[in-house]
């Protein structure tokens, strides 16, 4: 989060919420293996794009 970032600094609560969502997605998938690694990567990409669209 430090350094010369092109994006605006993400607030702590948003960062925590995003990590929480990712971890829950991972936990859910670890307990069902419904999605492949590639699919999980795509899901996380979507989530990060959604968060990056928010104006902080």
Partner 1 sequence: MKFKSIRMKNFMRYKGENTIEFSCDRKKNVTVVLGDNTVGKTTIAQAFRFGLYGAISTDRRKSEDDYLLLNNDVLAMMDANSRADVLVEIVATDEEKTYTIMRQIYYTRAFPQMIAREASKKVTLHISENDGANADIEVDANKVEEVVNELFPKDLSHYFLFDGERWNDVTIGGVRENIKDSVHILTGLSSYQKAMWHLKDMGSNSVIRKFKGKISGNGNMYDNLEAEREQMERSIEKCQEDIKVIDINLQNCDRKIRELEQQLEENRQTEEMQKKYKNLCTVRRSQAEHAQAEYRMLVNDFSDKAYMLLAKPMIKASLEMVKSVAGERRDIPHMHQDSIDYILRTGHCICGTKILPDSPEFECLIEQRNYLPPADIGSLLGEFERTAKRWNNRSGEAKSDFLQDAEKADASVRQYEDTCNEIALLERQMDERIDFGEIRRRIRQYRDESQRFSNQKGELQGRIEALKRQIEKTESDMRAQEAVSEENKKWRERVELAEAVYERMNHDFAEKEQKIFAELNQQIQSNFSRMFNAKDKRIELDKNYNIQMLYQTENGYREEKNLSEGEKIARNFAFIVTIMEYSRKRKAQNVGKDDVASDTLPIVLDGPFSKLGDENIKLIAKVLPEVSEQVIIFMLRKDWEYTGLDEFVGAYYSIDKDADKAYASVRKTGGVE
Residues at the site binding partner 1, with contacts judged by CB under 8 A: 1, 5-7, 10, 15-20, 22-24, 26-27, 29-34, 37-38, 40-41, 44-45, 48-49, 51-52
Q: How far is the CB of 14 from partner 1 (least distance, A)?
A: 10
Contact 14, 56 (CB under 8 A): yes
Q: How far is the CB of 55 from partner 1 (least distance, A)?
A: 11
Q: How far is CA 41 from CA 3, 5, 34, 45, 49, in A?
A: 26, 23, 13, 6, 12
Q: How far is the CB of 52 from partner 1 (least distance, A)?
A: 5
């Amino acid at each position: 989060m430090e350094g010369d970032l092109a994006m605006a600094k993400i607030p702590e609560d948003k960062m925590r919420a995003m990590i929480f969502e990712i971890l829950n997605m991972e936990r859910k998938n670890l307990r069902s293996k419904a999605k492949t690694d590639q699919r999980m990567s795509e899901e996380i990409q979507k989530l990060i794009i959604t968060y990056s669209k928010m104006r902080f």
